[in-house]
Amino acid sequence: MKGRYDEENLKWIAPLIILVIVLPFLLRGATFSYRYYLYVLNIAGIYTILTVGLDLLSGYTGLISLGHAGFLAIGAYTSAVLVDQAGVPFGLSLIVSPLITGLFGILVGFPALRISGMYLGLTTMGFGFIVRRLIIALRTWTEGSAGLEVSKPVLFGFTFANDWHNYFLIYLFVIVVVVFARRVMKSKIGRALMAIRDSEHAAQAVGINLVRYKLFAFFLSAVLAGLAGVLFAHTMRFISTDHFDILLSIYFLIMVLVGGVATIYGAVLGTLFIVLLDFLAIPLFKDWLASFMAVQVADIQSLIFGCIMFLFIIFQPMGLYGMWLKMRIYWKLFPFNPKIKQT
C-alpha cells in the first residue's frame, strides 16, 4: 500500500514541534525585547486556534463566517466571568467555556441551514454586532464597555505569570488543535464537510445529514474560537469590546484565505503571516514611508491586507500552503521536472 498523506505529514510535525519549543530560547538569546516578540507570537498562536476552526467552517464546509470575533468574545467573557466571578477553576473553564461558545455556534448555525454565501456572511456579521451589544447590556458581569480585567491562568497550582509561560500554554493548545483538526478532517467528518461544500446532493446520496453536519461544523468552529477566547482573556488579562471589532472577523477570514483554504496548515501559515505582518512589518514600513513622505498614512493596514488578499486570490488561490506544496514537489523532482504541473 502506498503511504497516505497523514502518515507523511507526521515526518514534518516532529521538527516543527521542536522548533516551537526552541524558538523562545532562540529569541531570548538573540534579543533583549524577546518578550515583545513572544507577545506577538502568543497573539498569533491564539488566533491560529481560532482560524483553524474558521477553516473547518468556511474552508472545508464552505459556510462563510464574518462573526468569529463574536465567538472569540463569548469564549473570553464567559471564562472571565466564570473564573473571576463564579470561582470556577481555570482548568475547568478551559473545557466549559468553549462548550458554551459551541452552543452559540449551533444557534448561529440554524440560519446557515437555509442561506449561504454572502447572505450567510451578513448574518454572521450581524451576530458579531449582537455579541458586542450583549456584552454592553450585561454590564453586571461584563462591566459594559469599560472592559474587564482577567486573572492569570492557573493550572494544577501553577500560575502562568508572564509571556514566557503563556507561550508554552498557548502553543501546547495550538499543536493539539492542529493535529486534532488535521486528523478529524482526514476522517469521515472532514470528507462529509467537504462534500457538503462541493455537492449537497452527493452528500445526501451517501447518507450525510446536512442539518446535523452543518450544525456540527458551526459547533466545532465555535468551540475552537471559544478555546481561543479563554486563552485570550487570561493571557492578555484585559478584554473589552474594542478587542473584538468587526474588522477582526474580516482579518480572520483573510488569514484563512491567504494561507490556503481547507488544509488546516494553511490557516496556521496564514495567521502567522498576517499577524507578523500586522505587528512587525507594517509598523516598520509605516516608519519608512513616514520618513520621506513626512505624513502618517492612515489605515494602511487595510490597504495592504486588501492588496495581499487580491493578489493571492488572483495569482495563488491555493494560498501559502499551496505554494509550499508546489515548492516541495519541485525540489523532490529536481532536476527532472522543472515545469510544475498543477496537482
Q: According to CB under 8 A, which residues from 98 to 127 bind another protein?
A: none
Query: 303: which residues sit within 8 A by CB, 6+ positions away?
Result: none
Q: Write out the three cell numbers for 322.
A: 499551496
Of 29 and 335, nearer to another protein (C-beta) is 29
178 alpha carbon, distance to own chain's centre: 10
Stretch near another protein under the rule CB under 8 A, chosen from 76-84, 120-128, 164-172, 294-302: 294-302
Contact 227, 173 (CB under 8 A): yes
Name residues contacting another protein, limited to 249-268 (CB under 8 A): 262
Torsion of CA 135, 138, 142, 143, to 10 degrees: 110
Classify the phi-psi angles of 72: left when phi > 0, otherwise alpha if psi is within -120 to 50, otherwise beta.
alpha
Letters for 313-342 (x = contact with another protein by CB under 8 A, - = none) are -----------------------------x
Give the shortest CB-274-to-another protein separation in angstroms. 14
C-alpha span between 309 and 313 (Å, rounded): 6
Which one of residues 11, 114, 201, 339 is an interface residue with another protein (CB under 8 A)? Answer: 201
Q: Is 12 in the site for another protein (CB under 8 A)?
A: no
Which one of residues 202, 311, 313, 333 is an interface residue with another protein (CB under 8 A)? Answer: 202
Give the total of residues touching another protein (CB under 8 A): 72
Of 92 and 280, nearer to another protein (C-beta) is 280
Q: Is 296 in the site for another protein (CB under 8 A)?
A: yes
C-alpha span between 326 and 87 (Å, rounded): 51
Cell 452527493 belongs to 202
Of 291 and 342, nearer to another protein (C-beta) is 342
Please count the other Cβ atoms lying within 10 Å of the Cβ belonging to residue 160.
Answer: 20
Q: Is 306 in the site for another protein (CB under 8 A)?
A: no
Q: Is 35 in the site for another protein (CB under 8 A)?
A: yes
186 alpha carbon, distance to own chain's centre: 19
Stretch near another protein under the rule CB under 8 A, chosen from 90-98, 101-109, 200-208, 214-222: 200-208
Which one of residues 155, 172, 205, 333 is an interface residue with another protein (CB under 8 A)? Answer: 205
Query: 85: which residues sit within 8 A by CB, 6+ positions away?
Result: 141
